[in-house]
Structure 1
Amino acid sequence: MSMTIGDAPAPHRRMTLGAREIAAGLIWLVLLFVPLWLPALGGYTDLATRVLIYGMAATGLNLLLGHTGGLSFGHAAYFGLGTYGTGLFLIHVMPSLPLAILSGTLLGGIAAILVGPLVMKRKGIYFSMITIAFGQMFYFVAVRWNSLTGGEDGLTGFSRVPLHLGSRAIPLGPTGFYYLVFGLFALVMLIVWQILRSPLGHGFVAARENATRLRFLGVAVDRQIWAAFAISGFIVGLAGALDSLLVSFASPANLQWQLSGEFVVMCVLGGMRSFWGPLLGALIFIGAQDYLSSVTQNWMTFIGLIFVLSVLFFPNGLLGFIKGRARA
């Protein structure tokens, strides 16, 4: 009897692991060939690129929100700083695409590093409110600094430049830019996956579940929250850098708390504690936004309805619901 009980979980674990690997492989294949099959469904490549960019930003936020337990309504600030950092580099420094993306990522990430110590000791609603305050501070700086940022009109005068690989210049049309974003998205997902499997990632989850017990064990919980906040800021900053290249524009609206709320909605829709949940949430949100905005001016009402129904009927997100049904 004891052998039967003891032996049963091992093949079950192997089957579960195999199913996850197959599902992940299918997701990557679908993403890899998006430019081939999406136009046949009436879509366009830039829409898929936008889904990956916002999925990346939501994944960055989810590292803090879903895995560490910190609800931030100020992460749009790091997204917006990424857009401005990239645009300003292309305008005032040099037309180098990799360096422009790097500059936007660093600007967003360094800002998160600096803000982190000021928010990491707060909990609950106080944590959320102070992140909003810092986010709005960056927004008002961008609006008021007309000579540098363009003020309320935003930053223009830059565009995607060819990607130089040695002596070869590769122009980035919609398909080429999609694959650039896809490659960076894959890199971010790999980094997040490695972090979540590491002792640091387990520390994030432990801080979410019981920070008091961790403190009694002598763990520096505040530093772990700071680390999650900083890593999250770098990922969101990278997403902002790519977004500025997608639309050739940096808007102060990218720094506002409303966009932070959209990132939160994406995480909740897909599943906050799921690895692929933020990408699924971004797909639902961006897809619904693109379609509904073409048929009605009140599209935000329908987005809100989708969010409310998701919270009521899928409290663990759509991916959490699917996993629950699969176990059943």
Structure 2
Amino acid sequence: MAARILIWVLLLTLPFWLDRIGGYTALGSRVIVMALAATALNFLLGFTGVLSFGHGAYFGLGAYGLALTIRYLVPSTGLGMLVGVVTGTLAAAIVGALIARLRGVYFAMVTIAFGQVFYFIAYRWNSVTGGDDGLSGWHRMPIDLGFTRLDILGNAHLFYYMVLACFAISAAIMGWLLRSPFGHTLVAIRENERRARFLGIAVERHIWLSFVISCLFVSLAGTLYAQLNNFADPHDLHWQQSGDLVMMTVLGGMRSFWGPLVGAAIFVVLEDFLSSHTQNWMSFIGLFFVLVVMFFPGGVLGLVGRRGAK
């Protein structure tokens, strides 16, 4: 409980202390966005035991759904986020229904294949998506709540708290689901799928639901990421984006609910710092990841928990 309180105190006060240690508010927003995406992936990977290397596709679909809505349809942040989330979730529902019976490396490879299909559509459809140049010429819009108007474009602190609110609500929903009988069923499937099947659990249906729920929140993270940059990039759909989310999850601890948040913070801050000093920053992050996997397979939170137990 004390650790959770400390995490939320740090997150709520982050814009007021991050710049004092060499950071900036937009970096904090990016950490929270990627933490949301990694936490959503962990819902499937850490608690259901199914590895997906295609979640970047739904992250990118969320980003493009919002960007296309604002640029071509209605300049509304709320509507754009809704379209982005619905687009990513519907795509996940269709793909998930096709692959729910696959396991292990076969499931992972097919998620990559479907993800690359979405990537190449965005990459080649220049007239709509902007192709390799991405979709620009739009920006996040103020949010009209009726009694007040939130200018999230011109206020980085306000946008950060909007992102944090989305993360808090999403984390609360995912936490509630994992504490429910449905969540316990997912863990049972992760621990012993054959035994779960013998107990009469509809394994494929639960995996499909877990996949769809996970992609719903990843799509939400994609809509926030597009607003953070005021830009939608086809590389957001690429398998490399999916790989980054897996790395964040594993770094923090994929069987811990808060592990992806820690992993995302480490990954994003390291990327920001190293990329400003060397072009070979990916090599250093890769080496760090290998060391963590080799010596601390439970991730950073697993190491902290083990030391606390001692």
Interval containing the TM-score (normalised by the shorter chain): over 0.9
Moved more, 94-103 or 231-240: 94-103
Give 1:74 shift.
Answer: 0.4
State the number of aligned residues: 308
Paired residue secondary structure (2:302): helix
Distance in 2 between residues matched to 1:168 and 1:192, nearest whole Å: 30
Give 1:155 shift.
Answer: 0.7
Are 2:26 and 1:46 aligned? yes
2:39 maps to 59
Are 2:276 and 1:294 aligned? yes
Letter in 1 for 2:5: G
Give 1:169 shift.
Answer: 2.1
- Output the aligned Cα RMSD: 0.8
Once superposed, which parts of structure 1, at least 4 consecutive aligned residues long, lie more than 6 Å away? none
Task: Quote the sequence identity (%).
Answer: 54
Moved more, 307-316 or 166-175: 166-175
Are 2:56 and 1:73 aligned? no
Moved more, 312-321 or 144-153: 144-153
2:307 maps to 325
Are 2:281 and 1:282 aligned? no
Q: How does 1:227-306 map to 2 (within 5 A)?
A: 227-306=209-288
Q: How does 1:15-26 map to 2 (within 5 A)?
A: 21-26=1-6
Paired residue secondary structure (2:47): coil
Distance in 2 between residues matched to 1:205 and 1:322, nearest whole Å: 23
Give 1:51 shift.
Answer: 0.3
Paired residue secondary structure (1:289): helix
1:166 to 146, 150, 170: 146
Query: What's the TM-score, normalizing by structure 1?
Result: 0.93
Distance in 1 between residues matched to 2:33 and 2:197, nearest whole Å: 36
Give 1:167 shift.
Answer: 5.3
Paired residue secondary structure (1:65): helix
Paired residue secondary structure (1:66): helix
Are 2:73 and 1:98 aligned? no
Letter in 2 for 1:45: T
Give 1:312 shift.
Answer: 1.1
Distance in 1 between residues matched to 2:90 and 2:301, nearest whole Å: 32
Give 1:93 shift.
Answer: 1.6
Distance in 2 between residues matched to 1:295 and 1:151, nearest whole Å: 30
Distance in 1 between residues matched to 2:286 and 2:203, nearest whole Å: 35
1:314 to 273, 290, 296: 296
Are 2:81 and 1:138 aligned? no
Give 1:234 shift.
Answer: 0.4
- The CA deviation string for residues 7-34 of structure 1, in whole angstroms up to 9 with x for no partner, is xxxxxxxxxxxxxx22111111110011
Gaps of 5+ in 2: none
1:226 maps to 208
Distance in 2 between residues matched to 1:34 and 1:106, nearest whole Å: 31
Query: What's the TM-score, normalizing by structure 2?
Result: 0.98
Distance in 2 between residues matched to 1:67 and 1:163, nearest whole Å: 35
Letter in 1 for 2:261: L
Moved more, 301-310 or 169-178: 169-178
2:8 maps to 28
Distance in 1 between residues matched to 2:90 and 2:308, nearest whole Å: 41
Distance in 2 between residues matched to 1:306 and 1:265, nearest whole Å: 10
Q: How does 1:76-155 map to 2 (within 5 A)?
A: 76-155=56-135
Give 1:218 shift.
Answer: 1.2
- The CA deviation string for residues 238-263 of structure 1, in whole angstroms up to 9 with x for no partner, is 00000000001111100010110000
Distance in 2 between residues matched to 1:312 and 1:214, nearest whole Å: 31
* Larger-Rg structure: 1
